[in-house]
């Protein structure tokens, strides 16, 4: 039952949450007592511009986040002198200011890559020892601050009108409280992310508040509750293969709801609360033990077992599965179902990476987060960056120190896919030479299909008059496709790959004029993004936005684009239909 | 003659952005939601509900996922999600020791985490989180229609409840003596907020929704004392910031939502600075001995 | 009892002039009457940034004075107390405070739920003397316990504040004022919700403090209760009257204080009339 805690990355996660529990539990009581939950939530979210800057200028992300959080704390403290704006409105205003700056930095200054979102999200399973050290430092500061300044924090909340008379004129203790919360929240970002930090910092303290009437007992019970909830959530998440942050969040919410309901019950029913609590605990253990253990599947390795391989993206996963055949057990980290930006790895992903012999990544910054999974899972797998040996490389458009030199969407050119298939084949052979003949045969068969694909798409596109071969897409993902098949790229609606990035009215107006003057027939939304902007541009310019392209991932199960080949065929068909005004189509047989 | 040319150039500069239908739609949307934000936002600021304004949008997510899994219309699911969250915030906020802000944190954290877990289901359709947020430049006809309906609903409800909102906000404890139920007033206000967020988030995106609901009304609070004039000022500030932000985004090529939100925060800071300086000069020693 | 003597004798020691809000420029000479006042105001007006809530307030409080602050709800009583407390800056006129000030806040729901013991509350009084990075130590604890003993709550020091009775809570707050070495006590509706016996006990405590040289200002809307104090200040957005209750509380003054919303029952001669206020003035909280 306790086997999840034998996994090294789970052990590190446990150490992290137990350390965080002290700081988060302690500060949580002050957050709830002083009613500043919004601040606690906002200060983590506001680290966005700091992360963009850190990536753009090339310094440590933690530093960027801490810097912004510090500015946030100073901003709220400084503005709070104005009596006519309440603390909560101020927090909202400072937060909006920070986020607006972040969006502008990401959209118009650095045109950053997508790796920021993973930082905002965070995962308990990918904690580094550096993260643990930062959490420990934040916790020590929180304990020291509480011991020294607790009386002042308490008095200021008890009787704010008398604050001056009580000698609480100095703003320093209040600022220290906000700064400590900022430090602790930011230190928890890498573990639970900005949106779920409140699951550690607010919800448990609110739960214990229902049952305690004194500060000391409240603080102790909160620290204990955070530790218990986090440990149970971690255990449950490994057992059910769910993301730990969200599991802890739901668990904390359920415990709060149960506590609040119990309090609302009449006394004679409340006596049964311990029984109900034990039943609930049994249910949790039941859920955990009833589900298949995420860790054990991959760990069961015998001598004749297939090679365990991890692919970062869906299209690479497909190529690896095809080339490896039955000799390879391939896992794909990104699911076609989930947006890469709000993705928190599941325990099985981390476990698979830990057990893997080979890890294939896309490279060029598209999946920079994969490096973290490989490092923190304790994997000794060989990482193969498929972008390194490609015949066709186009320049990247991102700016800033963290930006990639090359456009990462190389797989949209089948010539590159051919090179990737060869690279995958050779890497697999190097690991298991005995299966060479099988890998060779699989790769050769697939290369023939790729040749068919390439020839067919070329033929389809050639039927479109060259004056009509003009492409406008949602974001800049189709350079390789356009270059490979002789299509002119007019522009893209979203100026950057970060989802927080947004276009400007000026850019869109320019693009609209371009679409009209170039007489572009179609604007293509993407399967994983909202089509609204593409629709609006289409409506304004008279182009169509009916046809959707698969840009960053394969289609979900049930769609027509579940493999690399069908995805490419679907894109070609959409492009042909769009550019020909629906008069032509492109169906490719033999895939 | 030269003046005429300058005037024409300036006019051209001013009118040029509005030759784009996208810009006109964006303006109509921001104006409609500016009216909602100005009127409702004053109560949001007065009742200290800014956290709810910022975070309730996240509770749309589990509603969308559940609706998708059950095959219900997505908008219905989103509406249920945010209304359930509003009721839960209201109930948790009634626990004396908890308070409104903590209640928002508890409810939104739990529901958002639930949404993340549910979205792991293989039956959940891809890109569902894309439904959650809009972009002011991608406003559709249905967004505009919903914003118009929302504006009417919000204005009518606020008009009907005006006296009660004022009485409860002024002194919660004495409201009961006046025969006013603070419970109903709180609940209705939270429902209006939930509704506004549901509609506005799809049109404006979350960042801009918070900005519209809090920025103009906090600015107006600095400028006037009366709630009715505060609403008028807030609406004016919201619409003016919307226009200013659109011009900024058009000519400086800055992300539109962020530029409107940034203008709203900048207006607040400017007004706070000026009124702070004015107060300080009013408190110099000589005035103390008049 | 010994503790109280020591503590209260402490009040006699002249403390350095502590100005909480504004030092008058040259105003001191004009008010140099024999017992130096603990605080005075001249043509004071206070507001919250907009138009002033109270105007033209002029009064003195000297050691030993007990002033009843009379006025309707919303008439500016709390605003005046907050100005005396230093929580609000005046928008005009002079306010001079030459004593340490302590306030007994109204008992609000949030305060009853606050997770503090009586001792914790009393300890808050020591914070003004400590630099912000120092936490209260053993000496401060002793002082707080002594003050609680002085108000007769020595054995309830560890009880949660919200679990105490209304009168006990008021006494805890007085203990906090004692720890603060306050010489000017501001009380906002301290008797609301207290039964007669408890009120009497609290009043006796206030009388004792006044006899030791403290100034006491009690805000109330209860005309009967205000008769007990040395002086009464009638306030309804502006100062209606200030003086001893017997001569000040005429029916004319009361009408000006409460507007038309009172019914006066004529008393004998010029003396204070019996006043019946509309019911909602009484149900406070």
CATH number, domain containing residue C30: 3.40.50.300
Cβ–Cβ pairs < 8 A, chains A and C: 91
Residue A339, pLDDT score: 58
Residue A514 C-alpha from the chain's centroid: 34
Domain end point (choices A406, A432, A449): A449
User: Which of B106, B138, B211 is opposite residue A96, by nearest beta carbon?
Assistant: B211
> Could you tell me what percent of chain B has a pLDDT over 90?
46
pTM of the predicted model as reported, rounded to 2 decimal places: 0.85
First to last CA, chain B: 56
What's A499's domain CATH number? Answer: 3.40.50.1980
In the three-class reduction of DSSP (H, G, I as helix; E, B as strand; rest coil), residue C282 is classed as: coil
Chain A, nearest residue to B271 by Cα = A82
In the three-class reduction of DSSP (H, G, I as helix; E, B as strand; rest coil), residue C204 is classed as: helix
Distance from CA of C99 to the nearest CA of A (A): 11
On whether any CB of chain A is under 8 Å from the CB of C130, the answer is yes
Task: Provide CB contacts within 8 A for C207, sequence distance 6+.
Answer: C66
Q: Do residue A173 and residue A30 come from a single domain?
A: yes
User: Which of C24, C50, C280 is opposite residue B289, by nearest beta carbon?
Assistant: C24
Residue A269 placed within a domain: no
Residue C261, pLDDT score: 55
Distance from CA of B255 to the nearest CA of A (A): 4
Domain range enclosing B237: 18-273
- Beta pairing partners, C160: C117
On whether any CB of chain C is under 8 Å from the CB of B279, the answer is yes
Q: What is the dihedral of CA A181, A184, A189, A193, to 10 degrees?
A: -50
In the three-class reduction of DSSP (H, G, I as helix; E, B as strand; rest coil), residue A522 is classed as: strand
Residue C274 placed within a domain: no
On whether any CB of chain B is under 8 Å from the CB of A93, the answer is yes
d(CA C123, CA A159): 13
d(CA B231, CA B38): 6
- CB of A17 closer than 8 Å to CB of A125: no
Contact A165 C85 (CB under 8 A): yes
Contact B96 C109 (CB under 8 A): yes
Residue C31 placed within a domain: yes
Residue C103, pLDDT score: 86
Residue C164 placed within a domain: no
Residue A414, pLDDT score: 94
Number of domains in chain C: 1
Instruction: Give residue-wise pLDDT tens across range B143-184.
Output: 899 999 999 999 999 999 888 888 888 777 777 777 788 888
Is pLDDT at C1 greater than 70 in this prediction? no
Band (B240; pLDDT cuts 50, 70, 90): very high
Residue A259 placed within a domain: no
Residue A372 placed within a domain: yes
Residue C18, pLDDT score: 36
Mutation to test the A interface, candidates C87, C120, C132, most A Cβ within 10 Å:
C132
> What does the mean pLDDT of chain A come to?
86
Band (A296; pLDDT cuts 50, 70, 90): very low
Contact B258 A103 (CB under 8 A): yes
Contact A507 B276 (CB under 8 A): no
Residue B68 placed within a domain: yes
Is pLDDT at A416 greater than 50 in this prediction? yes
Distance from CA of B124 to the nearest CA of C (A): 44
Band (C278; pLDDT cuts 50, 70, 90): very low
Residue A116, pLDDT score: 55
Chain A, nearest residue to C159 by Cα = A214
Angle at B16 between CA B12 and CA B21, to 5 degrees: 155
Residue A79, pLDDT score: 82
Instruction: Give residue-wise pLDDT tens across range A19-54.
Output: 999 999 999 999 999 989 999 999 988 888 888 888
Domain range enclosing C34: 2-100+181-250
- CB of B206 closer than 8 Å to CB of B59: no
Is pLDDT at B127 greater than 70 in this prediction? no
Q: Do residue A439 and residue A318 come from a single domain?
A: yes
From A43, A60, A41, select the one nearest A51 (Cα to Cα): A60
> Could you tell me what percent of chain A has a pLDDT over 90?
43
Q: What is the DSSP string of A65-121?
A: HHHHHHHHHHHHHHHTT-TTS-HHHHHHHHHHHHHHHHHHIIIIIS---THHHHHHH
Q: Do residue A340 and residue A218 come from a single domain?
A: no
Higher pLDDT, A268 or A554: A554
Residue B73 placed within a domain: yes
From A449, A442, A233, A226, select the one nearest A320 (Cα to Cα): A442
Angle at C155 between CA C150 and CA C159, to 5 degrees: 110
Q: What is the DSSP string of A107-159?
A: IIIS---THHHHHHH--GGG--HHHHHHHHHHHHHHHHHHHHHHHHHHHHHH-
Instruction: Give residue-wise pLDDT tens across range A382-391.
Output: 999 999 988 9
Q: Do residue A444 and residue A522 come from a single domain?
A: no
Residue B10 placed within a domain: no
Mutation to test the B interface, candidates C92, C221, C281, most B Cβ within 10 Å:
C92
Residue A358, pLDDT score: 93
Q: Do residue A155 and residue A196 come from a single domain?
A: yes
Domain range enclosing A166: 3-233
Number of domains in chain A: 3
- CB of B215 closer than 8 Å to CB of B44: no
Residue C148 placed within a domain: no
> What does the mean pLDDT of chain C come to?
78
Contact C25 B96 (CB under 8 A): no
Residue C281, pLDDT score: 43
Average pLDDT over residues A403-413: 84
Chain C, nearest residue to B279 by Cα = C49
Distance from CA of C285 to the nearest CA of B (A): 6
Per mean pLDDT, which range of A250-254, A268-272, A332-336, A416-420 is the poorest? Answer: A268-272
User: Which of A147, A161, A212 is opposite residue C103, by nearest beta carbon?
Assistant: A161
Q: Do residue A46 and residue A126 come from a single domain?
A: yes
d(CA C159, CA A213): 10
Average pLDDT over residues A568-584: 92
Instruction: Give residue-wise pLDDT tens across range A117-171.
Output: 555 567 888 888 888 999 999 999 999 999 999 999 998 888 877 777 777 777 8
Instruction: Give residue-wise pLDDT tens across range A265-290.
Output: 777 777 777 777 778 778 877 777 77
Chain C, nearest residue to B276 by Cα = C49
Q: Do residue A300 and residue A443 come from a single domain?
A: yes
Q: Which of residues 503-542 of A touch B (CB under 8 A)?
A: 503-509, 512, 527-530, 532-537, 539-540
User: Which of B58, B120, B126 is opposite residue A528, by nearest beta carbon?
Assistant: B126
Residues of C in contact with A173 (CB under 8 A): 132
Residue C110, pLDDT score: 65
Contact C87 A161 (CB under 8 A): yes
d(CA B268, CA B284): 25
What's B267's domain CATH number? Answer: 1.10.3470.10
Residue C35 placed within a domain: yes
d(CA A190, CA A194): 9
Residue A180 placed within a domain: yes
Residues of B in contact with C50 (CB under 8 A): 225
Read off the tokens for A492: 């893209």
d(CA B256, CA A100): 10
Residue A248 placed within a domain: no
Residue B282 C-alpha from the chain's centroid: 33
Residue A10 placed within a domain: yes
On whether any CB of chain C is under 8 Å from the CB of A326, the answer is no
Chain B, nearest residue to A102 by Cα = B258
Higher pLDDT, A300 or A68: A68
Q: Which of residues 186-205 of C touch A (CB under 8 A)?
A: none
From A494, A554, A547, A550, select the one nearest A524 (Cα to Cα): A547
On whether any CB of chain B is under 8 Å from the CB of A203, the answer is yes
Distance from CA of A445 to the nearest CA of B (A): 31
Q: Do residue A307 and residue A413 come from a single domain?
A: yes
- Beta pairing partners, C265: C274
Residues of C in contact with A209 (CB under 8 A): 115
Contact B290 C43 (CB under 8 A): yes
Residue A354 placed within a domain: yes
Chain A, nearest residue to C116 by Cα = A214
Q: What does DSSP say about strands A523-524 and A470-475: parallel, antiparallel, or unpaired?
A: parallel
User: Which of A86, A253, A530 is opposite residue B130, by nearest beta carbon?
Assistant: A530
Domain end point (choices A449, A472, A504): A449
Q: What is the DSSP string of C20-88?
A: SS---SS-TGGG--SSPPSEEEEEEEEESSSSEEEEEEEEEE-TT-EEEEE--TTSSHHHHHHHHHTSS
Residue A299, pLDDT score: 43
Domain end point (choices A233, A268, A283): A233
Would you call A173 exposed, middle or buried from its count of C-beta atoms within 10 A (0-12, 13-18, 19+)? buried
Residue C34, pLDDT score: 58
Contact B96 C26 (CB under 8 A): no
Q: Which of residues 20-59 of C touch A (CB under 8 A)?
A: 20, 48-49
Chain C, nearest residue to B170 by Cα = C74
Q: Do residue A405 and residue A549 come from a single domain?
A: no
Q: Which helix (H) or strand (E) holds B234?
A: helix B227-252
Residue A302, pLDDT score: 44
Q: Do residue A434 and residue A475 come from a single domain?
A: no
Residue B110 placed within a domain: yes
Per mean pLDDT, which range of A211-215, B65-69, C107-111 is the poorest? Answer: C107-111
On whether any CB of chain B is under 8 Å from the CB of A222, the answer is no
Residue B290 placed within a domain: no
Contact C51 B177 (CB under 8 A): no
d(CA B85, CA B107): 6
- CB of A206 closer than 8 Å to CB of A32: yes
d(CA A73, CA B170): 30
Q: Do residue A69 and residue A175 come from a single domain?
A: yes
Distance from CA of A216 to the nearest CA of C (A): 9
Average pLDDT over residues A85-102: 89
> Could you tell me what percent of chain B has a pLDDT over 70?
92
Is pLDDT at C4 greater than 50 in this prediction? no
Residue C63 placed within a domain: yes
From A386, A385, A384, A405, select the one nearest A395 (Cα to Cα): A405
On whether any CB of chain C is under 8 Å from the CB of A144, the answer is no
- ipTM given for this complex: 0.91
Residue B281 placed within a domain: no
Q: Do residue A552 and residue A508 come from a single domain?
A: yes
Q: What is the dihedral of CA A487, A492, A498, A500, to 10 degrees?
A: -160
Cβ–Cβ pairs < 8 A, chains B and C: 36
């Amino acid at each position: 039952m306790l086997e999840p805690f034998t996994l090294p990355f789970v052990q590190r996660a446990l150490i992290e949450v137990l350390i965080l529990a002290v700081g988060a539990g302690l500060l949580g009581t002050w957050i709830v007592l002083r009613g500043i939950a919004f601040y606690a939530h906002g200060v983590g979210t506001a680290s966005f511009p700091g992360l963009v800057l850190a990536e753009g200028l090339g310094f440590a992300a933690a530093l960027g986040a801490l810097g912004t959080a510090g500015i946030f704390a100073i901003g709220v403290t400084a503005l709070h002198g104005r009596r006519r704006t309440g603390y909560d409105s101020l927090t909202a205003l400072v937060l909006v200011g920070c986020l607006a700056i972040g969006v502008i930095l990401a959209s118009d200054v650095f045109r950053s890559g997508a790796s920021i979102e993973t930082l905002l999200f965070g995962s308990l399973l990918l904690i580094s020892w550096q993260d643990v050290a930062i959490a420990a430092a934040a916790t020590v500061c929180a304990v020291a601050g509480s011991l020294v300044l607790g009386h002042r924090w308490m008095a200021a909340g008890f009787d704010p009108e008398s604050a001056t008379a009580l000698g609480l004129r100095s703003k320093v203790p209040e600022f220290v409280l906000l700064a400590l919360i900022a430090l602790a929240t930011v230190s928890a970002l890498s573990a639970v992310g900005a949106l779920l930090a409140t699951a550690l910092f607010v919800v448990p303290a609110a739960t214990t508040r229902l049952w305690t009437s004194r500060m000391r007992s409240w603080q102790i019970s909160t620290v204990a509750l955070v530790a218990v909830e986090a440990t149970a959530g971690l255990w449950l998440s490994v057992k059910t293969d769910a993301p730990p942050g969200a599991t802890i969040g739901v668990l904390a919410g359920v415990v709060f709801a149960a506590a609040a309901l119990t309090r609302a019950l009449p006394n004679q029913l409340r006596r049964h609360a311990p029984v109900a609590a034990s039943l609930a605990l049994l249910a949790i253990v039941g859920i955990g033990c009833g589900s298949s253990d995420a860790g054990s599947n991959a760990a069961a390795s015998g001598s004749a077992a297939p090679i365990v391989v991890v692919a970062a993206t869906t299209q690479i996963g497909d190529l690896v599965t095809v080339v490896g055949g039955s000799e390879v057990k391939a896992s794909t980290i990104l699911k076609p179902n989930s947006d890469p930006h709000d993705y928190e790895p599941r325990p099985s992903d981390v476990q698979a990476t830990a057990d893997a012999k080979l890890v294939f990544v896309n490279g060029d910054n598209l999946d920079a987060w994969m490096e973290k999974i490989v490092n923190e899972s304790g994997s000794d797998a060989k990482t193969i960056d498929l972008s390194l040996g490609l015949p066709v490389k186009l320049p990247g458009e991102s700016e800033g120190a963290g930006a990639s030199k090359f456009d990462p969407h190389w797989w949209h050119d089948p010539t590159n896919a051919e090179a990737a298939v060869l690279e995958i084949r050779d890497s697999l052979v190097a690991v298991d030479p005995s299966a060479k003949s099988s890998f060779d045969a699989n790769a050769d068969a697939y290369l023939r299909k790729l040749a068919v694909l390439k020839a067919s798409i070329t033929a389809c596109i050639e039927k479109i008059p060259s004056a009509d071969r003009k492409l406008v897409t949602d974001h800049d993902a189709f350079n390789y496709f356009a270059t490979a098949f002789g299509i002119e790229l007019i522009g893209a609606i979203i100026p950057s790959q970060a989802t927080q990035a947004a276009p400007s009215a000026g850019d869109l107006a320019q693009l609209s004029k371009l679409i009209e003057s170039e007489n572009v027939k179609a604007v293509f939304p993407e399967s994983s993004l909202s089509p609204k902007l593409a629709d609006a541009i289409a409506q304004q310019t008279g182009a169509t936005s009916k046809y959707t392209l698969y840009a960053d991932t394969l289609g979900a199960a049930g769609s027509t684009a579940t493999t690399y080949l069908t995805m490419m065929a679907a894109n070609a068909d959409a492009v042909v239909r769009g550019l020909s005004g629906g008069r032509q189509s492109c169906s490719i047989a033999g895939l | 003659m030269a003046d005429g040319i300058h005037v024409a150039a300036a006019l051209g500069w001013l009118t040029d952005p509005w030759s784009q239908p996208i810009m006109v739609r964006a303006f109509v949307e921001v104006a409609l939601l500016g009216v909602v934000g100005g009127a409702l936002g004053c109560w949001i600021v007065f009742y200290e509900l800014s956290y709810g304004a910022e975070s309730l949008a996240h509770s749309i997510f589990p509603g969308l996922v559940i609706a998708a899994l059950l095959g219900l219309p997505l908008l219905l699911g989103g509406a249920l999600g945010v209304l359930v969250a509003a009721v839960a915030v209201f109930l948790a906020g009634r626990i004396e020791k908890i308070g409104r802000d903590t209640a928002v944190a508890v409810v939104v954290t739990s529901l958002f985490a639930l949404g993340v877990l549910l979205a792991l289901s293989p039956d959940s359709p891809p890109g569902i989180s894309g439904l959650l947020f809009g972009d002011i430049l991608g406003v559709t006809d249905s967004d505009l229609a919903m914003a118009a309906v929302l504006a009417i609903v919000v204005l009518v409800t606020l008009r009907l409840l005006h006296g009660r909102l004022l009485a409860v906000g002024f002194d919660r404890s004495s409201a009961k003596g006046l025969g006013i139920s603070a419970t109903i007033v709180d609940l209705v206000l939270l429902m209006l907020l939930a509704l506004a967020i549901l509609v506005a988030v799809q049109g404006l995106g979350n960042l801009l929704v918070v900005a519209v609901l809090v920025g103009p009304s906090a600015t107006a609070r600095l400028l006037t004392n009366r709630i009715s004039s505060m609403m008028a000022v807030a609406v004016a500030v919201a619409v003016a910031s919307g226009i200013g932000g659109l011009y900024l985004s058009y000519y400086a090529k800055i992300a539109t939502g962020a530029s409107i939100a940034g203008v709203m925060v900048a207006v607040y800071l400017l007004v706070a600075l000026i009124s702070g300086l004015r107060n300080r000069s009013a408190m110099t020693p000589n005035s103390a001995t008049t | 009892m010994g503790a109280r003597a020591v503590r209260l004798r402490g009040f006699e020691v002249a403390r350095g002039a502590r100005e909480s809000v504004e030092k008058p420029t040259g105003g001191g000479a004009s008010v140099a009457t024999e017992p130096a006042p603990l605080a005075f105001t001249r043509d004071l007006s206070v507001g919250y940034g907009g138009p002033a809530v109270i105007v033209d307030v002029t009064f003195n409080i000297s050691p030993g004075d007990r002033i009843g602050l009379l006025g309707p709800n919303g008439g500016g009583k709390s605003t005046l107390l907050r100005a005396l407390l230093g929580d609000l800056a005046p928008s005009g006129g002079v306010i001079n405070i030459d004593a340490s000030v302590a306030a007994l806040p109204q008992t609000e729901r949030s305060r009853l739920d606050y997770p503090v013991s009586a001792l914790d509350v009393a300890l808050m009084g020591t914070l003004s003397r400590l630099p912000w990075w120092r936490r209260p130590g053993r000496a401060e604890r002793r002082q707080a316990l002594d003050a609680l003993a002085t108000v007769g709550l020595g054995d309830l020091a560890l009880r949660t504040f919200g679990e105490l009775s209304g009168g006990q809570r008021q006494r805890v707050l007085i203990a906090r004022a004692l720890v603060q070495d306050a010489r000017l006590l501001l009380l906002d509706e301290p008797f609301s919700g207290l039964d007669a016996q408890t009120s009497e006990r609290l009043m006796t405590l206030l009388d004792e403090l006044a006899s030791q040289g403290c100034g006491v200002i009690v805000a109330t809307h209860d005309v009967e209760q205000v008769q007990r104090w040395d002086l009464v200040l009638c306030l309804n957005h502006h100062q209606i009257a200030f003086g001893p209750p017997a001569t000040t509380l005429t029916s004319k003054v009361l009408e000006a204080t409460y507007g038309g919303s009172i019914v006066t029952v004529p008393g004998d001669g010029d003396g204070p009339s019996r006043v019946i206020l509309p019911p909602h003035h009484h149900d406070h909280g």
